[in-house]
Amino acid sequence: MNIAYISVPYRYGQGKPGTEHGPAAVEKAGLLATLEARGQEAVRYGEAAVLSEDAVREEDPKLKRLEGVVHTTNDLHLIVRDALSEQRFPLLVGGDHSMAIGTIAGLRQTIPRLGVIWFDAHGDLNTPETSPSGNIHGMPLAVALGEGHQRLTEVGGTDIKLQPEHLVFIGLRDVDPGEQELIDRLGIRVYDMEAIRTRGMDAIMEEAIAYLKETTDAFYLSFDMDGLDPSLVVGTGTRVADGIFLDDAKTVLKHCATAEDFIAAEFVEVNPLLEEGNGTAELANELIGDLLLAMETHRLVK
């Protein structure tokens, strides 16, 4: 494997201090050793540029800290684009989930028909008009679908970055009314907690990847730590009850890792300031290690 580790020490998509320390916390938990041991060719490829607190103002309550988000996601999309063009596997650690605006834009420049598996409790499909909070970490998928503020939808170019039939939700359970309207209108594929409990994660993931394989050139995994059950994660900002437990989360990673067209992964919303100790970052490092080991093993035995 040839992994490009990209850190995104950034919080401007949401209001709680701490996600800017996410990459450092995961590194403290042993990420660089994990990369060296399991990625073999892993390198610290890049770090997204982040504006200072003084440079970011909250001028629009419907689009909080817009300048900070645009600055980082514009830079990030270039880093991701370059990594993928060099035949590397972008592995991103954040950072709040608005960073996915840049991730998707960067991947899309190399993969025109990009697929997305979105592991998350939330829909992240709000627009400035539908968002209850004005926090942009609740908007990245709407932006990728071409909905929302022009400054955001034009990160990485003016074209629409993602088609609704190329998106799959895993673990969705907290959806705002405007998001549900968009899901229904666009026919987006959703595997909620009821489906996971009824059918099992193996069956869900087999179906999800087969679904994306029909219409996309490749897919990436966006893994929000709040998709996990709150009993597993304290250091993340928007926990939601009745989440995904560890065995099922690792099943998601296994299926992604062994898919031939899996091209990138990001782990987001680690906030070490919300807990004593470093447990959530340690779990993120464990999950990353499992993902990389499964990828390496699959490539050795195929």
Res 182: pLDDT: 97
Could you confirm whether 184 is annotated as catalytic?
no
State how far Cα 20 lies from the chain centre. Answer: 15
> Per-residue pLDDT averaged across 117-140, rounded?
98
> Per-residue pLDDT averaged across 15-31, rounded?
97
- Amino acid at site 221: L
Q: What is the CATH number of domain 3-301?
A: 3.40.800.10
Which residue out of 21, 71, 77, 137 is catalytically annotated?
137
Q: pTM for the complete prediction?
A: 0.97
Percent of the chain at pLDDT > 70 equals 97
pLDDT in tens, 159-185: 999 999 999 999 999 999 999 999 999
Could you confirm whether 137 is annotated as catalytic?
yes
Q: Is the pLDDT of residue 297 over 90?
A: no
Mean pLDDT, the chain, rounded, equals 96
- Amino acid at site 143: V
Residue 33, by phi and psi: left (phi above 0), alpha (psi -120 to 50) or beta?
A: alpha
Res 301: pLDDT: 53
Res 257: pLDDT: 97
Return the structure tokens found at 78.
Answer: 């270039």
The secondary structure of 122-135 as a DSSP string is: B-----TTT-SS--
Res 125: pLDDT: 99
Q: Is the pLDDT of residue 200 over 60?
A: yes
Could you confirm whether 82 is annotated as catalytic?
no
> Per-residue pLDDT averaged across 58-79, rounded?
95
Res 154: pLDDT: 98
- Domains of the chain, by residue range, sit at 3-301
Which residue out of 20, 27, 75, 124 is catalytically annotated?
124
Asked whether 179 and 139 are in contact (CB, 8 A), the reply is no
Distances (CA, A) of 149 to 179, 182, 271, 282: 16, 16, 27, 35
With helix as H, strand as E and coil as C, how does 198-255 read? HHCHHHHHHHHHHHHHHHCCEEEEEEEHHHECCCCCCCCCCCCCCCECHHHHHHHHHH
Cα–Cα distance for residue pair 263/220, rounded to 1 Å: 6
> Per-residue pLDDT averaged across 110-123, rounded?
98
> Per-residue pLDDT averaged across 265-289, rounded?
98
Could you confirm whether 120 is annotated as catalytic?
yes
- Per the annotation, binding residues are 97, 120, 122, 124, 224, 226
Q: Is the pLDDT of residue 60 over 80?
A: yes
- Per the annotation, binding residues for Mn(2+) are 97, 120, 122, 124, 224, 226
Per-residue pLDDT band for 77 (boundaries 50, 70, 90) equals very high
Which residue out of 179, 248, 269, 282 is catalytically annotated?
269
Res 118: pLDDT: 99
Res 58: pLDDT: 72
Res 108: pLDDT: 98
> Per-residue pLDDT averaged across 103-117, rounded?
98
Q: Is the pLDDT of residue 138 over 90?
A: yes
Res 210: pLDDT: 98
> Per-residue pLDDT averaged across 49-77, rounded?
94
Res 170: pLDDT: 99
Which residue out of 21, 97, 149, 166 is catalytically annotated?
97
Q: Is the pLDDT of residue 281 over 70?
A: yes
pLDDT in tens, 231-260: 999 999 999 999 999 999 999 999 999 999
Which residue out of 122, 149, 166, 255 is catalytically annotated?
122
